[in-house]
């Protein structure tokens, strides 16, 4: 099989937390880069960032930034994506967008490569990267769903500061330092004190349903990615004082009875996940262990004793929000492109 030809790649939002991880993923996976363009706002233009043996200068993002670009990796928010993705497509680039701007557009593939890579080939210029909590929640469930369809998921997320960006990570560090030193600290990025605290995810709440935007994204995106509009999903998203890597508790109910050993066997062979399930040592997935790892860690696999029918299993997972939850998933999509 011939080697892929080197590509001209643009990173939009190159100075953000996910933008930096894009660079690391491209390097670690030896992506065939002919030219790399780092694009960001005017205030970040001129900054220098290392990539392999080069030092690259960040350029201001404009509609003329994409001439000659093959693949544009976007991680700069929905507003920027809606404004500049059309210019990238017009210039001939394929866009992989990390925002929520296009995820639920029927003409835009929403892709987790371990689940539905085949969707990539139908793109019309844009492929959407799913919500980080959705990716980490459902990637371990897909191989189970293929064998014994999942009819209901009850999910609770424990989401790190990284999900709200570099500024939120800094706020967690600074507010923790202030708390330990008995100093007052006024939150600036998140709505509540973060140090030694947790709170309901800070996305806006729908007054009619009581679900917040993060929860709604996971519900809608899971159905689209699974290609199953009938799967029932209950979810509560919580922000916890962890720097990076989200954790997720899931209890799911299958169409037919299923045992914990069946699930453990399926998970052990599944792509993109790693079994961490040591009852003897009480050692299970933790954000600390998942940080910096490509795989989603999965464990605490056990029969749900609240369901005497034997159809339900509980498990716990942890995955790096900046990697598999964002940059890595996008780079995997770019590899397929």
145 to 83, 233, 276, 300: CA distances (angstroms): 37, 14, 20, 18
- DSSP for 212-264 reads BHHHHHHHHHHHHHHT-TT-EEEEEEEE-S-SS-EEEEEEEEESS---HHHHH
246 labelled catalytic = yes
Q: Using H for helix, E for strand and C for coil, what is the string for 14-29?
A: CCCHHHHHHHHHHHHC
What is the 3-state secondary structure of 291-337? CCCCCEEEEEEEECCCCCCCCEEEEEEEECCCHHHHHHHHHHHHHHC
Rounded Cα distance, 51 and 34, in Å: 12
Per domain, the residue ranges of the chain are 7-130+326-336, 135-320
Model pLDDT for residues 282-310, shown as the tens digit of each residue: 999 999 999 999 999 999 999 999 999 99
145 given a catalytic annotation: no
- Digit-coded pLDDT (tens) for 42-69: 999 999 999 988 899 999 999 999 999 9
**pLDDT at residue 2 in the model:** 56
- CATH fold for the domain made of 135-320: Dihydrodipicolinate Reductase; domain 2 (3.30.360)
- Name residues of the chain where pLDDT drops below 70: 1-3
CATH class of 7-130+326-336: alpha beta
Beta-carbon contacts of residue 117 (< 8 Å; ≥ 6 apart):
111, 336
The residue from 132, 201, 237, 254 that is catalytic is 132
* Run of H or E including 174: helix 166-180
pLDDT reported for residue 5: 87
Which residues lie below 8 Å from residue 17, measured CB to CB, with a gap of 6+?
162, 165, 166, 169, 322
Number of neighbours of residue 156 by Cβ within 10 angstroms: 16
Which residue among the candidates 201, 246, 254, 311 is catalytic per the annotation?
A: 246
Which pLDDT belongs to residue 3? 66
pLDDT for residue 53:
87
For residues 223 and 228, give the distance between their C-alpha atoms in angstroms, rounded to a whole number: 5
Neighbours of 280 (CB within 10 A): 5
- Measure the CA–CA gap between 233 and 152, rounded to whole angstroms: 6
- Which of 320, 337, 336, 222 has the alpha carbon at shortest distance from 24? 320
Q: Check: CB of residue 57 under 8 Å from CB of residue 34.
A: no
Distance between CA atoms of 22 and 73, rounded to whole angstroms? Answer: 8
Q: Count other Cβ atoms within 10 Å, centred on residue 81.
A: 25
């Amino acid at each position: 099989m011939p080697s892929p030809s080197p590509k001209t790649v643009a990173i939009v939002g190159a100075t953000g937390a996910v933008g930096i991880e894009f660079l690391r993923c491209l390097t670690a996976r030896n992506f065939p880069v002919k030219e790399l363009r780092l694009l960001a706002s005017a205030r970040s233009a001129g900054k220098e960032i290392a990539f392999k043996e080069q030092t690259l200068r960040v350029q201001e993002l404009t509609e003329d930034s994409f001439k000659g670009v093959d693949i544009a990796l976007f991680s700069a928010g929905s507003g920027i994506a809606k404004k500049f993705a059309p210019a990238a497509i017009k210039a001939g680039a394929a866009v992989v967008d990390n925002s929520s701007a296009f995820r639920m557009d029927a003409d835009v593939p929403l892709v987790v490569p371990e689940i539905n890579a085949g969707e990539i080939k139908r793109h019309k210029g844009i492929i959407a990267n799913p919500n980080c909590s959705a990716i980490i929640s459902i990637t371990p469930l897909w191989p189970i769903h293929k064998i014994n369809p999942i009819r209901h998921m009850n999910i609770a997320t424990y989401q790190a500061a990284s999900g709200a960006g570099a500024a939120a990570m800094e706020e967690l560090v600074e507010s923790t330092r202030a708390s330990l030193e008995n100093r007052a600290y006024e939150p600036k990025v998140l709505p509540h004190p973060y140090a030694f605290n947790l709170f309901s995810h800070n996305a806006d709440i729908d007054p009619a349903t009581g679900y917040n935007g993060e929860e709604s994204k996971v519900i809608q995106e899971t159905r689209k990615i699974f290609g199953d509009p009938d799967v029932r999903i209950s979810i509560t998203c919580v922000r916890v004082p962890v720097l990076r890597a989200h954790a997720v508790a899931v209890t799911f109910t299958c169409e037919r009875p299923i045992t914990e050993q069946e699930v453990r066997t399926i998970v052990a062979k599944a792509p993109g996940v790693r079994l961490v399930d040591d009852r003897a040592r009480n050692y299970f997935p933790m954000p600390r262990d998942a940080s910096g790892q490509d795989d989603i860690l999965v464990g605490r696999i056990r029969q749900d004793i609240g369901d005497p029918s034997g159809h339900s299993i509980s498990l716990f997972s942890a995955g790096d929000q900046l990697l598999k939850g964002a940059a890595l998933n996008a780079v995997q999509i770019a590899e397929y492109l």
